[in-house]
Amino acid sequence: MANVSTFLLRVTRAVTTSGVLVMMLVGGPALAQYPERPITLITPYAAGGSHDLNARVFTTYIQRYLDQPVVIKLVPGQAGQKGTLEAVQAPPDGYTLIFTDNYRDQLYQHTFRNRHYDTTADLISVARVNYGQVGLIVRGDSPYQTWQDFEADARARPGELKMSHSGLWAAFFVTAGQVMKDRGIRLRLVPYRGGGPAKAALLGGDVDISAGFPSSLVADVEAGVIRILATAGSERTIEDVPSFAELGISASAGFMHRAVMAPRATPADRIARLRAAFAELQDDPDYKAAMAQMGENTEYLDGEAYEDERRALGNEYAELAAAIAAL
Amino acid sequence: MLEALLAGFEAALRVDTFIWVSAGLLLGMLMGAMPGFTTTMGMSVLMPVAFLVGDPLIGIPFLIGVYKGGIYGGSVPAILISMPGTAASVVTVMDGHELSKKGQPRKALDMALAASVISDFISDFLTLILIIPVAAIVLGFGPPEIAAIMFMSLVIVSVTATGPVLKGLLMLGFGFWLSFVGADPFSAMERYTFGTTELYDGFHLIPMLIGLFALPEIFNAVRAGDRKRGRVASLVGDRLSWKELKASMRTILRSTGIGTAVGLVPGLGQTVAAMMGYIAAKNASKHPETFGKGEIDGVAAAEAANNAVNGPTMVPLLTLGIPGDNVTALLLGAFMMQGLRPGPTLFETSGAIVFAILIVMLFANVIFWFIGYYSIPMFSRVVTIKKSLLIPITIMLAFTGTYLARSNPFDLVTLVGFGIIGLALRKAAFDVMPMVMGFILGRELEYSFGQTVSLAGDSLLQFALTERLGMTAIVVATPIFGTLIGLRMSRLRKQELIRGG
């Protein structure tokens, strides 16, 4: 009997130690009005991914403005459908939120069949936390000095040049599809398990071109190992490196908007409270510093503005999904 | 570079750093020992601790401690209740739990710890010495080479399985087929999902492992009833003796070599290393028939190999900025939050700090030994718990562990389903290990082979013969290698039959 209780004691102690540790980090005084208990943030992707990392950072600081901890719950699976379904079906009381992105939110309805929900109708934006901006990259010793060099070669040898990406319908894959569609070229797309292995494939010489987030490639560019040929968007973000718009690629291509959303039936005052907290977070120097260290931006967009943005993206994506599927 | 190494050495000698490493190791062990709570999840939850502390010589060693502790911690429930805490410790179940059933849980846990610590120490040392020169080699391994290694592993697993070859092959094929369930990774075409969304990602590994290994043990324990037992002190058995450790030293060193090599190649992982180490030990042993029946060398082989993977995964991460899996992706985030940017310039810009981290990683193994050594007596007493109490606890751990892994109720159905399959297979004297390996390797082989075809384009043969001679060499060598091992194994089987009567 004594042995059992010792064993159980150890187990409970282990659980509570980690629990207390987390509570110490995130705990704060509880208030009588919303939120009066911890909020769950569903992340529909696996531990260690870019969503997970970003969420770990902002949930650590957002509790300063919500007076309650935000606890991450990872619900990976089915390209994010599993977690999305759980968020849609959660009680709309402001205690369950989801950390999603524009592809999961607006594109996948065209690519993965689903009878259970319509993200646009069922979810409302709380805030766009930031975005990942994709760049097209080649090896430092590659013969392609500019995007034009690459495009000319790709036209001369359709379907022969290889591009590594981070997995079917993931950020780099969609970008690749958009580039091919807008420029009318055909590349051979090779999937890898995430951005890390996709970059390894480029460095190892397995493929001719890849995509990456330039903010996380600073060291490689400095060392001359990687050359960035273009960055997403209508404006240049790096001097001497053209933007997608300059090259005739849609300005909305290559952006991964990371957004926090809630079930649409959540009371308006609670949505307002959450939106206000995210607005306040933007002035937190610790939050900004932590994100900057990680190589992520803090390009916040408030919930209302992102609602318009996602509708616009949604209209574009029906055509894009069909075009990519046909490639 | 030598200057940075010396500066790193000086910077690493800090008391607080070692206190944080100890905390990380302890938390990692406890998390690893919780079935279903993977090392990745533990690190992800503890990530904020690392960046809130804000000192690279505290935050990163802390997370590395969690990583090392977690991979070892998984072996504790594997040995005691036949429940692999993480996928890395599947192979440990085979002999570890048998030893436990024979009343030697302490010896098995001691060996798991000794093998883990020794291999960790050696592989960390090799990492420290070789990190700069071997970085370039890592990039030579792409999907074609990985596919070839997976192919070779499958052949070796099938020829070394215990029992009749045909049964082994059947199980391997079954596991292989199971790995195809779900959406295929290249076109998202659904296979064998019967139109359900639950099977879209295929079967999840954790419930499958717990179902196959732990549930049949529980059923058997229930059937066997609560036998009268003697004194507690004798029940947990003896500690590992120096003589036994020395006898297994060759195995540990061999597994360390295998694990280190596997760790350098991004994407192979601990489970593959443990399996290769185990098979190599079985093949080199003078008495391979004892493997799978409580052979202490089997525990040493599996645990040394899976822990040796940890250190070398830092090579592609630090020198090239390439995380091979989710654990290293988290470490990449941790490095960046401390203002260190893994990649080609890391050693020039922050050489001293990075060397300090690697040195702390090396010395953390000493603390690892102490924490492990003093926690084993406590852990090993689990087997002295009365069955009427231990069985419900084990059942609870099996179900909570399954649910914890990814909060999916369907996984509970998977758990029970594979529990029944495991029980039936055991009744019919089938070895489930080839099935599990078929499942794990099947997925990897399909993915890497698909990538290879995609890279090769029109002519796979031309691609193999002109650009990928490494892959071709492995594929050509496989049947020869497989036949040799197979012949040796069948000779041993015959000898065993003669000896058996």
CATH of the domain at A105: 3.40.190.150
Q: Tell me the pTM.
A: 0.85
CA B470 to chain centre: 26
Pair (A215, A147) in one structural domain: yes
Nearest alpha carbon to residue B203 among B185, B232, B182? B182
| Interchain proximity A191–B385, CB inside 8 Å | no
Best mutation target among B66, B137, B197 (most A Cβ atoms within 10 Å) is B197
Of A162, A167, A199, the CB nearest to B322: A199
Per-residue confidence at A29, pLDDT binned at 50, 70, 90? very low
| B258-274 exposure pattern, b = at least 16 Cβ within 10 A, e = fewer | bbbbbbbbbbbbbbbbb
* A108, amino acid identity: Y
- A32 lies in a domain? no
- A9 lies in a domain? no
Distance from CA of A201 to the nearest CA of B (A): 7
Euclidean distance between CA atoms B257 and A99, whole angstroms? 42
Residue in B with minimal Cα distance to A159: B457
Q: What is the pLDDT of residue A324?
A: 86
CA dihedral (A12, A17, A18, A22) in degrees, to 10, reads 130
Highest-confidence segment of A244-248, B195-199, B311-315, B364-368: A244-248
Inform me whether the pLDDT recorded for A26 exceeds 60: no
| Interchain proximity B27–A76, CB inside 8 Å | no
Best mutation target among B337, B350, B354 (most A Cβ atoms within 10 Å) is B337
Q: Do β-strands A209-212 and B190-191 pair in parallel, antiparallel, or remain unpaired? A: unpaired
Distance from CA of B473 to the nearest CA of A (A): 18
Inform me whether the pLDDT recorded for B226 exceeds 80: no
Residue B133 burial by Cβ neighbours in a 10 Å radius (0-12, 13-18, 19+) = exposed
Q: What is the pLDDT of residue B114?
A: 96
- A49 lies in a domain? yes
| Interchain proximity B341–A219, CB inside 8 Å | yes
- A213 lies in a domain? yes
pLDDT (average), residues A183-190: 94
Inform me whether the pLDDT recorded for A11 exceeds 60: no
pLDDT (average), residues A202-226: 91
Q: How far is CA B72 from CA A159, B40, B75, B156, B300, in A?
A: 47, 14, 6, 26, 12
Of A26-35, B153-162, B344-353, B489-498, where does mean pLDDT reach its minimum?
A26-35
Inform me whether the pLDDT recorded for B500 exceeds 60: no
Pair (A146, A122) in one structural domain: no
Pair (A166, A207) in one structural domain: yes
| Interchain proximity A225–B188, CB inside 8 Å | no
Of A25, A194, A216, the CB nearest to B48: A25
| Interchain proximity A73–B455, CB inside 8 Å | no
Of A41-55, A61-75, B156-170, B407-421, where does mean pLDDT reach its minimum?
B156-170
Per-residue confidence at A202, pLDDT binned at 50, 70, 90? very high
Percent of the residues in chain A that have a pLDDT greater than 90, as a whole number: 65
B391 touches chain A (CB under 8 A): no
Q: Give the 3-state secondary structure percentages of chain B, helix then strand then coil, rounded to 5.
A: 80, 0, 20
Domain with A90, as residue range(s), is 38-129+257-326
Euclidean distance between CA atoms B451 and B465, whole angstroms? 17
| Interchain proximity B200–A76, CB inside 8 Å | no
B378 touches chain A (CB under 8 A): yes
Q: Please report how many Cα atoms fall inside a 13 Å half-sphere around the Cα of residue A20, on the Cβ side.
A: 7
Distance from CA of B28 to the nearest CA of A (A): 10
pLDDT tens-digit series, residues B59-93: 999 999 999 998 888 899 999 989 887 788 899 99
Q: What is the pLDDT of residue B122?
A: 96
Last residue of a domain, one of A222, A247, A272: A247
Per-residue confidence at B39, pLDDT binned at 50, 70, 90? confident
Residue in B with minimal Cα distance to A286: B52
Euclidean distance between CA atoms B419 and B218, whole angstroms? 10
Euclidean distance between CA atoms A170 and A132, whole angstroms? 12
What number is the ipTM of this complex?
A: 0.85
- DSSP secondary structure, B250-289, as one string: HHHHHHHHHHHHHHHSTT-HHHHHHHHHHHHHHHH-S-GG
- A26 lies in a domain? no
Per-residue confidence at B431, pLDDT binned at 50, 70, 90? confident
pLDDT tens-digit series, residues B151-182: 988 888 888 877 777 888 899 999 999 999 98
Q: Are A28 and A69 in contact (CB under 8 A)?
A: yes
State the DSSP code for A238. S
| Interchain proximity B321–A168, CB inside 8 Å | no
B30 touches chain A (CB under 8 A): yes
pLDDT tens-digit series, residues B440-467: 899 889 999 999 999 998 788 888 888 8
Of B29-38, B221-230, B289-298, where does mean pLDDT reach its minimum?
B221-230
pLDDT (average), residues A308-315: 93
| Interchain proximity A60–B332, CB inside 8 Å | no
Chain B 217-276, CB below 8 Å of chain A: which residues? 232, 266-267
Q: What is the pLDDT of residue B27?
A: 92
Q: What is the pLDDT of residue A13?
A: 54
Helix (H) or strand (E) holding B188: none
Q: What is the pLDDT of residue B84?
A: 86
Of B45, B338, B345, the CB nearest to A223: B345
Of A118-127, A263-272, B151-160, B240-249, where does mean pLDDT reach its minimum?
B151-160
**Residue located via tokens 């390797």:** B441
Expressed in angstroms, the distance from the first to the final Cα of chain A is: 66
Pair (A69, A209) in one structural domain: no
For residue A312, give every residue at least 6 positions away whose Cβ sits within 8 Å of its Cβ, in sequence order, or none. A252
Percent of the residues in chain A that have a pLDDT greater than 70, as a whole number: 90
CA B230 to chain centre: 35
Q: Are A309 and A258 in contact (CB under 8 A)?
A: no
CA dihedral (B16, B22, B26, B27) in degrees, to 10, reads 40
Per-residue confidence at A303, pLDDT binned at 50, 70, 90? very high
pLDDT (average), residues B279-303: 90
| Interchain proximity A47–B38, CB inside 8 Å | yes
Distance from CA of B482 to the nearest CA of A (A): 29
Chain B 331-370, CB below 8 Å of chain A: which residues? 332-333, 336-339, 341-346
Q: What is the pLDDT of residue A228?
A: 96
Pair (A300, A282) in one structural domain: yes
| Interchain proximity A191–B321, CB inside 8 Å | no
Mean pLDDT taken over chain A:
88
Q: Do β-strands A162-165 and A188-191 pair in parallel, antiparallel, or remain unpaired? A: parallel
For residue B252, give every residue at least 6 positions away whose Cβ sits within 8 Å of its Cβ, in sequence order, or none. B114, B115, B118, B119, B300, B301, B304
**Residue B429 Ramachandran class (φ > 0 left, ψ -120 to 50 alpha, else beta):** left
Percent of the residues in chain B that have a pLDDT greater than 90, as a whole number: 38
Quickly count helices (H) and strands (E) in chain A: 13, 11
Q: What is the pLDDT of residue B487?
A: 84
Pair (A144, A175) in one structural domain: yes
| Interchain proximity B48–A201, CB inside 8 Å | no
State how many domains chain A has.
2
pLDDT (average), residues A187-200: 90
Of A43-52, A259-268, A306-315, where does mean pLDDT reach its minimum?
A43-52
Other residues' Cβ atoms within 10 Å of the Cβ of residue A21: 16
- A75 lies in a domain? yes
Pair (A237, A262) in one structural domain: no
Last residue of a domain, one of A197, A223, A247: A247
Nearest alpha carbon to residue A50 among B41, B333, B342, B338? B333
| Interchain proximity B188–A168, CB inside 8 Å | yes
- A7 lies in a domain? no
Of A56, A162, A290, the CB nearest to B44: A56
| Interchain proximity B344–A223, CB inside 8 Å | yes
- A194 lies in a domain? yes
* B501, amino acid identity: G
Pair (A140, A110) in one structural domain: no
Inform me whether the pLDDT recorded for B409 exceeds 90: no
Pair (A145, A116) in one structural domain: no
**Residue located via tokens 């040493």:** B300
Inform me whether the pLDDT recorded for A19 exceeds 70: no
For residue B231, give every residue at least 6 positions away whose Cβ sits within 8 Å of its Cβ, in sequence order, or none. none
Per-residue confidence at A1, pLDDT binned at 50, 70, 90? very low
Q: What is the pLDDT of residue B490?
A: 79
Residue in B with minimal Cα distance to A160: B457
For residue B228, give every residue at least 6 positions away whose Cβ sits within 8 Å of its Cβ, in sequence order, or none. none
Pair (A46, A115) in one structural domain: yes
Domain ranges within chain B, ordered by starting residue: 2-500
Q: What is the pLDDT of residue B231?
A: 43
Inform me whether the pLDDT recorded for A24 exceeds 50: no
The A123-133 sheet, strands edge to edge: A70-74, A39-43, A96-101, A255-263, A123-133, A301-302
* B435, amino acid identity: M
For residue B489, give every residue at least 6 positions away whose Cβ sits within 8 Å of its Cβ, in sequence order, or none. B159, B160, B283, B288
Per-residue confidence at B326, pLDDT binned at 50, 70, 90? confident
B151 touches chain A (CB under 8 A): no
Expressed in angstroms, the distance from the first to the final Cα of chain B is: 64
Pair (A125, A141) in one structural domain: no
Inform me whether the pLDDT recorded for B125 exceeds 90: yes
CA dihedral (A141, A142, A145, A150) in degrees, to 10, reads -170
Best mutation target among A59, A62, A82 (most B Cβ atoms within 10 Å) is A82
Pair (A314, A174) in one structural domain: no
Inform me whether the pLDDT recorded for B225 exceeds 70: no
Distance from CA of B431 to the nearest CA of A (A): 30
B406 touches chain A (CB under 8 A): yes
| Interchain proximity B454–A189, CB inside 8 Å | yes
Nearest alpha carbon to residue A134 among A233, A236, A259, A235? A233
The alpha helices in A97-231, defined as continuous H runs, are 102, 108-111, 119-122, 147-156, 171-183, 195-203, 218-222
Chain B CB contacts of A219 below 8 Å: 321, 341-346
| Interchain proximity B381–A7, CB inside 8 Å | yes
| Interchain proximity B381–A3, CB inside 8 Å | yes
Inform me whether the pLDDT recorded for B236 exceeds 80: no
Chain A CB contacts of B321 below 8 Å: 199, 216-217, 219-220
CA-derived radius of gyration, chain B: 22
Chain B CB contacts of A4 below 8 Å: 385-386, 389-390, 393
Nearest alpha carbon to residue B72 among B402, B275, B400, B305? B305
Chain A CB contacts of B44 below 8 Å: 47-48, 52, 56, 74
